[in-house]
Structure 1
């Protein structure tokens, strides 16, 4: 019986990891890459401004 309990621990961990992965990935499909790309464009513009002043 103790061996069964030790086998259930990794099984429950795998199920929990799978559920967490599904939950964590649920918003990526709807949001897309727009905010990340806009943030990168602002970063590049700021870096160009900082280098042009020197």
Structure 2
């Protein structure tokens, strides 16, 4: 029975590593679209704003 336990430990470790690897390599590009849209709105707002002072 002890030999079976020693064989199951690496099996569980490999299974856990496979789960972690698939989680770490997941596609995370869904948030980029909203962040880029927000950045574009920020740039447009900064180009539109006129403080009335000459900063050059």
The normalised TM-score by structure 2 is 0.48
Structure 1 or 2, whichever has the larger Rg, is 2
Task: Return the structure number with greater helix share.
Answer: 1
